[in-house]
Amino acid sequence: MLTSSFAARDPFFKDRLGLINNDYKTTSEFKFANKYGSALYGFFNGQQSAEVLYPHYKADMYVCSFAFAHTADVVGKEYMVRNGALHGIFQPFLTDQGYGYTKNTDAFEQAGSKELSKAFIASIAAFVRTGNPNTPALGTTWQAWNPTYRPELVWDANRQHARISSINSRVSYAGILAEMANDKSINEQSKNYIIHNVLNGRWFSDELDAKYGNPSLWPK
């Protein structure tokens, strides 16, 4: 949920945060904004960035994403809905510095998250040393990105063990927007408001803004 911190600061939600997990309408709207905002942001930061750079970049590129904090048994229902795999979720796995959004859960002290942290640090260290992030700690191969298979490494953990897997991503802006258009989890009035007033005008929302006619909020 990359956009949970952005949604929480948006005027539409910031005065209703106490209702999340307690009020059905507020919770459903927050989940909707997080789900599709995170999908758009994640695609922009990962797969789309690789697409743009690939023709011009000589070195291997490696794309990854974090799915940690998406399950209630690991972080609890409140944290899962309110925060999830938010922006900067990798920080507690890479450093011993505190991160404000982690203070209400012990999930980062569990055996699984500690194992994930060791693998992540080892992988980053290997990449810094050699340009290749692969180590035995991954338990799988982190493939260099290419436009045919679009490989992406997914970092996750349960309470006991790290869960690191490789996928061939087929995510696209068109797919995200089509799923959003067909989503019936909230009413049309709420959906339209979030599309035009919460998810709009972001650095990752060009395709959404074009489809729904949202005005550009960026200086020209």
**Over its length of 220 residues, how does the chain's per-residue pLDDT go in tens digits?**
445 567 777 888 878 878 888 899 999 999 899 889 989 999 999 999 999 999 999 999 999 998 887 777 777 777 776 666 667 778 888 887 666 666 667 788 889 999 999 999 999 999 999 999 999 999 999 999 999 999 999 999 999 999 999 999 999 999 999 999 999 999 999 999 999 999 999 889 999 999 999 987 776 6
Q: How far apart are the C-alpha atoms of 100 and 217, rounded to whole Å?
A: 29
3-state SS of the chain?
CCCHHHHHHCHHHHCCHHHCCCCHHHHHHHHHHHHHHHHHHHHHHHHHHHHHHHHHCCCCCCCEEECCCCCHHHHCHHHHHHCCCCCCCCHHHHCCCCCHHHCCCCHHHCHHHHHHHHHHHHHHHHHHHHCCCCCHHHCCCCCCCCCCCCEEEEEEECCCCEEEEEEECCCCHHHHHHHHHHCCCCCHHHHHHHHHHCCCCCCCCHHHHHHHCCCCCCCC
Predicted model pTM? 0.87
- Tokens (6 digits) for 92: 């507690």
Q: What is the pLDDT of residue 1?
A: 45
